Structure 1
Amino acid sequence: MPKVSAAAASGDGFRADINGLRAWAVVAVVLYHFNVAGFAGGFAGVDIFFVISGFLMASIVVGGLDTGRFNLPGFYLARARRILPALLVLVFAVLVVGWLLLMPSDYQTLGRHARESVLFSSNLQYLSESGYFDAASHEKWLLHTWSLSVEWQFYLIYPLLLMLLARVLPQSRPLLAVHLLALSASFAWCLLLTFEQPVRAFYLLPSRAWELLLGGSVFLLGRQMRLPERWPALVEGLGIALVAASIALIDASLPWPGALALLPTVGTALVLLAGRASSPWTGSAAAQWLGTRSYSIYLWHWPLVAGLVYFDRHNEVAWIVVGLALSLVMGHVSYVLVEVPARRWLASRTNVRSAVWLVTCLVVVAVSAQLVRRSGFPARLPEVLARVEAERHNKNPRQDECLSADARCIFGGQQVRALVVGDSHADALVTAVAAALPGSGEGVYFKAESGCLFVFGAKWAGKGERDDCRRLLEEVVAGLDSLYPGTPLILINRTTAYALGELPAPGGKPPHPMVYFSQKADGNDPAFQAEFRQHYLDTVCQLARHRPLYLLRPVPEMPADVPKAVGRAMQRGLPHEVSITRDQYRQRHAFVWGLQDEAARQCGAHILDPLPYLCDEQYCYGSRDGLPLYVDDDHLSETGNRRLVPMFARVFTDQSAPAGSPAMAQKR
C-alpha cells in the first residue's frame, strides 16, 4: 500500500491547505487586476490555480484507477457540475449588461467571446486578438475565462492518457517518471515560446501543461514519501515565500510565463507537498472563506474591472474599493445561490438527467451568444448612436477585393490618371483620390497590402518574411516604366508606425518599430533611424525618377477607437468629440516629416498635407459634431476621407498645368 503524504485531510478528502492556497491565488489575481500597489505580479495567481488543479485531477483520476472505480463520463460530469453553473450564469449576466451598454460592434465581439467562453475555447480566441497584458484586453469582459479553457482542455486529455498509462505502468514510480518527462517537455516548449511567441506561450495548453503536470507530480510524489517531522513547516514556509515573491517582485514587463513562472508554481508545489492541516498561512478563517468562494470571486471580479475601464473609473481609488467589495459580494452570492445549490441539485439527479440539464443550459447560453455575435441588435439603440455605429463600417466598399498584394484594381473609369500604392491607409483614402478626378471616365490604379511599408530592404519584426509585401514592391518597381507611363504615383503609408511603433497606450509598454533592416532596435536608436532614413530616401528617389511622386503626410492618429469613444460618451451624456492637439501630432510624426522634407529636396517628390483639412490651428479632429471621421483610431472613414478630396485634386491640377506655370512651381 503506498504511503500517504504529510497532508492531513478530513474524512471527505477536504484539505484546508489547498483551500487556503486558492485564497492566495484569487486575492493575488483580483488585486492585480484592480491595479492595487504591491501586487504587480498578481497574475501569477492563475499559475497557482493551475498547479492546484493538476494536483486535484491526479488525486481523482489516479485514486480512481487504483481502486478500479474510475469512470470517465462521471469524471467529466463532475467537472461540468463544478464549473458550468456559475460560468453560465455569469456569461448570461454579462450579455444582459452588454445589451444595455455596448455599441453593436462591441456587443458582437462580446457575443463571440461569450460563445467561446462556454465552449472552453476562449484562450484560442484571445490568442488571435491580442496579448493578455495589452491595454485593449481590459475592454474584453470575459478575458479571464481563458484560464478555464486551458484547464478544461487539460481535463479532456489528462484522464485519457492516465487510463492508457495505467494499463502499461501500474506502479506509481514509472507513472511519476512519465509525468516528469512530459513536464520537462512542456516546460522547455514554454521557455522557447516565451521569447519567440510570448502570446502563444501565455494562452496555449502545450506551454501551460507543465504547471498542471507539476501538481500531478506532487500528488504522485506525496504517495511515495513522507516528509520528516520537522520539515513540513519549513517546506511550507519556503513555498509561501516563493509565492509571495512572485506576486510582489514580478511585473508584466518581464517575460511570462517562462522561467519566472517557477516561482509561484514551485512555491505552490512545496505548500502542497508540506500538506499542513492547520497553518497560519492557509488555515485562517479569512483564507478558508476566500478559498471556498475563490471560483465565483474569480468569475465576477473581471467584468467589474472591465466595467470600471468602460466608465473610465479604473484609476479612481474610491471606485477601486467599490469594485473590490463588489467582487467579494458577487462571489459570495454566486457561491451561495448558484454554485452550491446547483451542485447539490445536479448530484441528486441521475447522471443522464444531470448531463441533459447542463448541456441544455450550455446550448441556450451559447446560442444566445451566437445571436449576439451575428447581429449586435442595433435596433435597441437610439438613431444618433446607430449613425455613429454605422461610421465604423463606412469604409472602402472594395476593401476585401482590392486590399491584397495580388489584386489589381481600378477605381473609377478606365482612363487611369494616377496610381495609388501603399498599405491599409492607402485603402482608406483611394476612394477620395478617385472622387478628386476631374473627368467622369477617369480612374485610379490601386495596389496595396495591409501592414506593408513601401521601403526596399524592410524586414518585419515578429512576423517573419512578408512575401505578400515583397511581391507588391517588386511588381510596382517592375512596372515603373511600362505601367501607365508618366502617370503620377501617390504613396500612402502609415510610416510613423513602422518606424516608431504603434501609438503607445497610456501606461502601456513602450512601442517598438514594426520593421528593421540589419538588426532589430528601438525606434529612438540613432543607428536604426539612420538605416530607416537611407532606405526610405533610396526608395523614394528610385520611384521619383520614373514618374511624378506624391508623398502623403501622416494621417493624424487618434488616442482611441473613434466610433467606440464617441458612442460611449453619447450613451453616458458626456462630451463626445475625439481629438489630439497639433503639438501631439508634431511630436509623434516629426521623424517622418523630416524624411519627407528631405525626399522633396533630394528626389523632387511632392508633399500632400492633410492637416489643413483635418485640423484647425490647435487640434486635429477624429470626429466633428458627434460624427466620427474614422472607422477606428487611425483609418479615415469614407466620410472623413472626403475632406481630403480638394487636397488630392491638386495632383490632377498640377499634371494639367503647363511647365513653368504657377501651379507647377507651387507643387515643388
Structure 2
Amino acid sequence: MTSANPHLLHLKYRPDIDGLRAVAVLSVVVFHAFPNGLKGGFIGVDIFFVISGYLISSIIFQNLEKGTFSFGEFYARRVKRIFPSLILVLAASYAFGWFALFADEYKELGKHIAAGAGFVSNFVLWGEDGYFDYSAETKPLLHLWSLGIEEQFYIVWPFLIWLAWRRNFNILTVTVLVALVSFYLNMRGIRFDSVATFYSPQTRFWELLCGSMLAWLALYRKGAYAPFRAKLDAWLASVVYRETHEADGKTLANALSFIGLFLLVYGFSIINRNFYFPGKWAVIPMLGAVLIISAGPQAWFNRIVLSNRLAVWVGVISFPLYLWHWPLLSFARVLETEVPSVNIRLVAVALSVVLAWLTYRLVEQPIRFGKGNKSKTVVLMGMMLIIGNIGYFSYLKDGFEFRQADASSKTKLFADVKGTVLFNTPDDWVDDICKAELGASYDYLICRFTTSTPKTLVVGDSHAAQFVYDSISKGVNDLALVAVNGCLPFADLVAINPYEEFSEKASRCKVVMPIVLKVLRDFPSIQQVVFATRGAMYVDGSGYGDIEKKNTYRIIKDPNDLLPENYNRFISGYVASINEILKFGKQVIFVEDVPEIGVEARSCVEDRPIKITDKVRPDCNVPRKSFDQRNTNYRHAVGSINAATENRIKIFPAYEYLCDESSCGAGLEDDVSYFYDDDHLSLRGSHYIFGKFSEWLAKASSPSSNN
C-alpha cells in the first residue's frame, strides 16, 4: 500500500556502484572511439542494464514494504534524473545539425530526435540498419536505443511489481518468471533476427531483471544463507591463506568481486561485433556486474579500485558522458566523410568529458536537488514534448531543404534515388500487378511493373533495382522487376553475412526464382530476362573500400556449411537459375556489374559548410588497375557461367560505360555523380546505364550480330 503523503526512501549510497558505472561508460566510449582497441566495449551497456535494474528495483521493493511507494514521485525522480541532460543533448544536436547536415541527413536526425524524446529510439532503429552496420556510424543519436529500453522498463516494471504486491504474489517468483521468458525470447530470437533481438525490450529486460533479483535477495534474504556463506568463506580462506584466517566474509566478497572482474575483462577481450549478441554472450557482462555488486562495498576491488575518487567522479558524470560522447564522434564521422583521425577522436572524447562535467554541475545538480520539484517536473516534460515535436516536424518537412547547409543546387545535380518508390516503405515495393500475380505478401520483396505487358524482366538484388530505378520511377521501358536486397537469385544457395540468420535469410531469398518462373508463365509478353547482381562482393566474399571493408558474405547451402566456396557456388547457382529460364525459350542477359567506387559519392560532389579539417574531396574514380584486380575472379566466373550454359546468354558489360583505360568512376562531369553511395547508381546513373543497355540490346538483337 502507499501512504497518504508518500515520500520515497533513498537508498544507501554505494561509491563502488558509481565506480562500476565508470567502467561501463568508459568501455562504451573507448569502443566507439577506438573499436579495434576494445572490441567488446559495447557490453558496457549491459553493465548499465544490471545496475539500473538493481537500483530501481531496490527503490521499488523497499518503498512498497514501507508503504511509501508513489508512482508520481517515482516518475518525477526519473524525469529530473534523465530529462535535463537529454534535452540539452537533443537540442545541441539539432542546432549543430542545422548548420552541418544536408537535408536528408537532417530529416533523419529529426526523426531520431523525436524518437529519443519519446524514448522509442530502439523501435525506430530496429526498422533501420543494425547497430554494427556502417550507416550506424553516421547516426548521432544511435546510442539512445539503450535509454529507450531502460525507460520502457521503468514504465512496465513498477506497475507489474505494484500489482503483484497488491495481489500478494511472491515478488521473487514474478521476477524470475519474467526474466526467464525474456531470456528465452533472447535466445530464440538471436539467430532468427539479430537486429530485432538487439533492440527489443522483451529480449533485453532479463538483464535488468537480473539486477532486480539481486536487489530482492539483498533486501529479503541477506541473512538467509549466512551459515552456508560462512562455511564457504572459511573454506576459501583456507585455500587462499597459509595460516588460519578469520571467517569474516571478506574472502568470499573478494572472490565474488574478482570473479566478476574476470568475467568483464574476458567479455571486453573476447566478445566482438561479429558475435550473435546479446544471445548467450550477454550472460558474461550480466553475471560479471551481478557478482561485483553482490560482493558489497567492502570487497577489496570495490573498496580500493571502484570507490577511488577518480572512478567515482567518472561514475557521477557517466550519464551525461554517455549522452555526449556519441554525437560528437558521429558528427566528426559525418563531417570528415570517413573515419576521423586519432587526434580528432581523442579531442571528441576529451570534449565529451568536459561537457559531461559541465552538464552535471550546471544542469543536473541544480534541477535534481534544488527547490520547486513539481514545477521542474512539469517544465521538463513540456520541454521534452517541444523538442520531440520540433524533431518530428523537421522530419515531415524533409529536413528543411531551404537551409544554406543543404547546398541544394548540388543536391539536385547529385540526383539521389531517395524519395523514389524503391526508397519508400516496403509497402510500396510491391505494386498492384504483383499483388494480383502473387496473391501473397513477401518480406523484403521488390516487385514492380511499368506495364501489364512487359518485354523485359529484371531479376536480382539491389543492383538489379538500381539498373531500373529511373525506368520504374517514370513507368517506362516495358519492364518488370523482381528483386530482394542482398539476395542472389538462386534456388538452393543463400548469400549471408555474419549478422544474418540463415533460416530468415533463406526464407526471403529463395522466393525469387519461384516468383520469376511464375511471372514467366503468366506474362508471355516477356522476351528477355536480365540478371543483375553485385558480382565482385559475392564472388570474393568482401566489400570494397573503407566503407564496406567489414561487409563479408558467404554463399552457403545450410547453417553448418562453413567452407568458403563463393566462386564455384556463384557459378553453379547462376547456371542452375539460367537453365530454368532457358527452358521457357527466353533470351537471357547477364549484366556485368558497374564499378564500386569505395567512397560515398556525395562527398565527391558536395562541400559541407562546416569542416573539421581542410582536405580535398575524395576521388570517386578508381584506378583501372584496381578495378581489374577487384573484378578478376568475378569476370572469370561470368565467363564460366556463359560456357556452362553453352554460350546461350548475352553479357552486357555495364562497367565499360563508366570506365576508360585509366580509371573507372562515378561519371563526374560538372559535379554530376552517377552514384548515390559507394556502389549503387543514382537516378541519373540509372538513366544513363539503362540507356546504354537499350542501345546495346538493339545492336545485340539485330540479325547482323554475331553474339
TM-score range, shorter chain: 0.7 to 0.9
Task: Indicate whether 1:372 and 2:394 are aligned.
Answer: yes
Which residue identity is paired with 1:535?
G
For the residue of structure 2 that corresponds to 1:624, the secondary structure is: coil
- Number of the residue aligned with 1:202: 198
Q: CA deviation at 1:559?
A: 1.9
- Number of the residue aligned with 2:482: 448
With the length of structure 2 as denominator, give the TM-score of the two structures.
0.81
Alpha carbons 2:191, 2:276 under 8 Å: kept: yes
Q: CA deviation at 1:570?
A: 7.8
Alpha carbons 1:424, 1:448 under 8 Å: kept: no
Q: CA deviation at 1:98?
A: 0.9
Considering only aligned residues, what root-mean-square deviation do their CA atoms show, in Å? 3.2
Alpha carbons 1:557, 1:634 under 8 Å: kept: yes
Q: CA deviation at 1:49?
A: 0.9
Equivalent residues in 2 for 1:353-432, closer than 5 Å: 353-374=375-396, 375-381=398-404, 384-388=407-411, 391-394=414-417, 399=422, 405-406=434-435, 409-410=449-450, 418-430=456-468
For the residue of structure 1 that corresponds to 2:481, the secondary structure is: strand
- Number of the residue aligned with 1:84: 83
Q: 1:646 aligns with which of 678, 692, 699?
A: 692
Which residue identity is paired with 1:533?
I
Cα distance between partner residues in 2 of 1:84 and 1:512: 42
- Number of the residue aligned with 2:568: 530
Q: CA deviation at 1:46?
A: 1.0
- Number of the residue aligned with 2:207: 211
Q: CA deviation at 1:500?
A: 5.5
Alpha carbons 2:415, 2:683 under 8 Å: kept: no
Q: CA deviation at 1:552?
A: 1.2
Instruction: Identify if the C-alpha distance between structure 1 residues 161 and 247 changes in structure 2 by more than 3 Å, giving closer, same or farther.
Output: same
Cα distance between partner residues in 2 of 1:255 and 1:65: 38
Q: CA deviation at 1:123?
A: 0.9
Instruction: Identify if the C-alpha distance between structure 1 residues 544 and 250 changes in structure 2 by more than 3 Å, giving closer, same or farther.
Output: closer
- Give deviations 1:558-603, integer Å, cap 9, x for gaps: 3234225643568646325423333443344444423332343414
Cα distance between partner residues in 1 of 2:198 and 2:471: 44
Which residue identity is paired with 2:543?
L
- Number of the residue aligned with 1:438: none
Cα distance between partner residues in 2 of 1:648 and 1:11: 74
Cα distance between partner residues in 2 of 1:46 and 1:432: 43
Alpha carbons 1:20, 1:282 under 8 Å: kept: yes
Equivalent residues in 2 for 1:567-582, closer than 5 Å: 567=606, 572=611, 574-582=616-624
Cα distance between partner residues in 2 of 1:298 and 1:284: 20
Alpha carbons 2:143, 2:326 under 8 Å: kept: yes
- Give deviations 1:435-485, integer Å, cap 9, x for gaps: 9xxxxx994232323435434444574424237524531224425xx7137
Equivalent residues in 2 for 1:45-124, closer than 5 Å: 45-124=44-123
- Number of the residue aligned with 2:357: 332
Instruction: Identify if the C-alpha distance between structure 1 residues 18 and 472 changes in structure 2 by more than 3 Å, giving closer, same or farther.
Output: same
Instruction: Identify if the C-alpha distance between structure 1 residues 105 and 605 changes in structure 2 by more than 3 Å, giving closer, same or farther.
Output: same
Which residue identity is paired with 1:632?
D
Q: CA deviation at 1:242?
A: 2.5
- Number of the residue aligned with 2:222: 225
**Greater CA deviation, 569-578 or 293-302?**
569-578
Instruction: Identify if the C-alpha distance between structure 1 residues 475 and 629 changes in structure 2 by more than 3 Å, giving closer, same or farther.
Output: same
- Give deviations 1:310-334, integer Å, cap 9, x for gaps: 2447553322322221121011011
- Number of the residue aligned with 1:34: 33
List alignment gaps of at least 5 residues for structure 1.
1-9, 436-440
- Number of the residue aligned with 1:543: 581
- Give deviations 1:125-179, integer Å, cap 9, x for gaps: 1122122222221111011111110100000011111111212346xxx422332
Task: Indicate whether 1:183 and 2:175 are aligned.
Answer: no
Cα distance between partner residues in 2 of 1:518 and 1:509: 23
Which residue identity is paired with 2:606?
G
Q: CA deviation at 1:641?
A: 2.9
Instruction: Identify if the C-alpha distance between structure 1 residues 302 and 568 changes in structure 2 by more than 3 Å, giving closer, same or farther.
Output: farther
Instruction: Identify if the C-alpha distance between structure 1 residues 291 and 638 changes in structure 2 by more than 3 Å, giving closer, same or farther.
Output: closer
Cα distance between partner residues in 1 of 2:175 and 2:429: 52
Cα distance between partner residues in 2 of 1:428 and 1:366: 35
Task: Indicate whether 1:321 and 2:346 are aligned.
Answer: yes
Instruction: Identify if the C-alpha distance between structure 1 residues 484 and 570 changes in structure 2 by more than 3 Å, giving closer, same or farther.
Output: farther
Cα distance between partner residues in 1 of 2:269 and 2:700: 63
Task: Indicate whether 1:289 and 2:329 are aligned.
Answer: no
- Number of the residue aligned with 1:134: 133
Cα distance between partner residues in 2 of 1:185 and 1:100: 46
- Give deviations 1:485-544, integer Å, cap 9, x for gaps: 7x344333334555555725648545124x64466646x723x54344223113324434
Cα distance between partner residues in 2 of 1:236 and 1:563: 51
Alpha carbons 1:115, 1:370 under 8 Å: kept: yes
Cα distance between partner residues in 1 of 2:277 and 2:619: 38
**Greater CA deviation, 322-331 or 545-554?**
545-554
Alpha carbons 2:482, 2:516 under 8 Å: kept: no
Which residue identity is paired with 1:539?
S
Identity, % of aligned positions: 27
Task: Indicate whether 1:309 and 2:333 are aligned.
Answer: yes
Q: CA deviation at 1:256?
A: 2.1
Q: CA deviation at 1:104?
A: 0.8
- Give deviations 1:611-659, integer Å, cap 9, x for gaps: 221112232212504222123333322322343323421212333x33x
- Number of the residue aligned with 1:7: none
Cα distance between partner residues in 1 of 2:476 and 2:350: 65
- Give deviations 1:47-74, integer Å, cap 9, x for gaps: 1111111111111111110011111122
Cα distance between partner residues in 1 of 2:550 and 2:448: 38
Alpha carbons 2:259, 2:288 under 8 Å: kept: yes
Equivalent residues in 2 for 1:136-151, closer than 5 Å: 136-151=135-150
Cα distance between partner residues in 1 of 2:197 and 2:457: 43
Task: Indicate whether 1:634 and 2:679 are aligned.
Answer: yes
Q: CA deviation at 1:408?
A: 6.1
Count of equivalent residues: 633
Alpha carbons 1:85, 1:339 under 8 Å: kept: yes
- Number of the residue aligned with 1:349: 372
Which residue identity is paired with 2:283?
L
